Every structure is written in structure tokens, then in C-alpha cells.
Amino acid sequence: MNSRQCTVDNAAVRTRFRVGRASVLFTVYCLLFTSLAGCGGGGIRRKVESGIAKALQQRLGPAKAYSVKVTGSTMSILGGKLDGVDISGEDVRLAKGITVARLDVSIKDLAVDTSTQAIKRCKSTTYSAAVSEDELERYVVKRYPDIPGLTLALLKDQARVTASPGVAGVTVSIVAEAALGVRGGRQLVLDLKNINVEWLPTPGFAREYIEGRVNPVFDAADLGFDARIDSVSIAPGFVTLTGTLDLVKALGTETPGDHGTTAGTEPRNL
């Protein structure tokens, strides 16, 4: 075999080797991607959801159950970027002592540092919280322990408040029906629509008594996490609040001196 033929043969071998190696690498990459996008991807997604649910029990509050659903491509999730996180909790016992019958939280555009698990970005966090009649009444009675005979019931589109103050040595029964309004994005207040007073010729006193002594009926500060109230609705047995909260305060680990909302803050851990 002459030198020219040997050179040609060696070049052909090297070419086949490079093609073979590239083919193997491409196959491995395809198998890896298929695993992540298929069953493997589903496993990763479930692992992330399970991890968030576990963190919620410790940082948001213990609950009868939490369900979590994350959205976004598997590769993005591996990189710490989630299009959305939807959380639902049943009988959530918040740190401030309030039990929420149902809590739904929706997180949009969440970015997390995969090495430290610190939150780097969060576009928005909204919530919907359903509080039972019994829980709201317990809250109001605890908030205003000096009002005798105080009760609260939730009817269709209105609340009914009763009280039995003493006037000139006589116990007076007051029954007030009211809508609930939002004050300052933080408090629920009574908007009296009708008031009935027993044995009292001046119902103006009763109105002033209820409005001045039983307001607000709820403060979002007792939800925690810098919660704000955007709207409120009343159904028999339940009141539902919707609004926004601070994801960092809900899921993050705060240190003394931490302030501000999620956007523009230093990353904090999930």
C-alpha cells in the first residue's frame, strides 16, 4: 500500500469515528431529553410540587391538605423558572391563629436560584381565602371581648350582628344587618343596612354602638404575609376574601431588617 492510499484510509477511519461519536452523543442527548420531557419530566414536576407542599406546612401553616400544581416546561423547571404555581389548602391554620377553610394561592412567573433555593423573581401572588361563619364569629368575639351578647352570622350577601349592651341598667337587644366593605385595602368593616332595637326609642344610639364598637370585623394583618384585601363576598356560612400577599413572607425565610415586597428584594430561601 502506498503512502497516499494509507493517508486516505486513515482519514476515512477518523471521519467514521467522528460521525460515530457524534451519533452516540446525539442519541444520549435525545434519550435524556425524552426522559425529562416524558416520565422523568413528570417525576421532576411531582418532586417540585411535593417539595413546595412540604414547605407550606412549615411556613404558611399546617393544614388538613395542600395540593400544588406547577406549570412550565421541564427544562425551565430544572433551571428554577416556573410559569406558575397554583396552591390549594384545606383547613389551613395560619401563624396568626386564623383557620382558613379554603386557601387558594396563585403565583405567576417565579424564578428560584437552584443552588440556594432563594426566590429571585416573582411577578405576582394572589389569593382567595374562605373563612367560615364560626371562625369569623370566634375572631370577632375575641377581638371585642367587652361587648356583651356579641354574635355574628353570615347570610346571603350580608352579615347579621347582634349585641346586648346595658343602657340605664336595662339590657338592650340590638340586631343589625350589614354588608361588608373593604377599608384601606386591609380591613373589613360593617356597612349597616338595617338595625332593630328592643326597648329603645333612639335607634341612633344602636347604630353608633355597632359602627363604633364592632368595626373592623376583620383585619388582613391577622392573615400575615403583608396580605391586602381587594374584594369580599358573603355566602351563607362563609365569607371569601380575595387579594394579594407577599410571596417572600409566605414562603421565604426573613431575617431582621427585611422589608419590602417580593419584587426588588434580596433573594430569600424557599
Flag whether the pTM goes above 0.85: no
Rounded (10°) CA dihedral 60, 61, 62, 66: -30
Model pLDDT, residue 254: 40
Number of folded domains that form the chain:
3
Same domain, residue pair 220 and 184: yes
Same domain, residue pair 109 and 160: no
Give residue 177's identity as a one-letter amino acid code: E
Same domain, residue pair 55 and 95: yes
Model confidence at 163: pLDDT above 90: yes
Tell me what the pLDDT averaged over the chain comes to. 80
Model confidence at 260: pLDDT above 50: no
Same domain, residue pair 124 and 83: yes
**What is the span of the domain harbouring residue 15?**
1-37
Q: Please give the average per-residue pLDDT across 34-52, as a whole number.
A: 66
Q: Cβ(59)–Cβ(251) under 8 Å?
A: yes
Same domain, residue pair 224 and 171: yes
Model pLDDT, residue 200: 61
Model pLDDT, residue 255: 35
Residue 65's Cβ-count burial label (10 Å; 0-12, 13-18, 19+) is: exposed
Q: Kindly report, residue by residue over 189-215, the tens digit of the pLDDT.
A: 999 999 988 766 666 888 899 999 999
Nearest to 128 by CA among 217, 235, 46: 235
Model pLDDT, residue 19: 40
Same domain, residue pair 152 and 223: yes
Same domain, residue pair 85 and 141: no
* Residue environment code for 236-247, b if the CB has 16+ CB neighbours within 10 A, otherwise e: eebbbbebbbbb
Rounded distance between C-alpha atoms, residue 207 and residue 174, angstroms: 9
Q: Kindly report, residue by residue over 54-88, the tens digit of the pLDDT.
A: 888 888 889 999 999 999 998 888 888 999 999 99
Q: Kindly report, residue by residue over 117-154, the tens digit of the pLDDT.
A: 778 888 899 999 999 999 999 999 999 999 999 999 99
- 88-97, 227-236, 244-253 — which one is most confidently predicted on average? 227-236
Same domain, residue pair 32 and 50: no
Same domain, residue pair 219 and 166: yes
Same domain, residue pair 194 and 234: yes
Rounded distance between C-alpha atoms, residue 109 and residue 20, angstroms: 42
Same domain, residue pair 93 and 158: no
Model pLDDT, residue 153: 98
Same domain, residue pair 234 and 258: no
143 C-beta neighbours (distance < 10 Å), count: 15
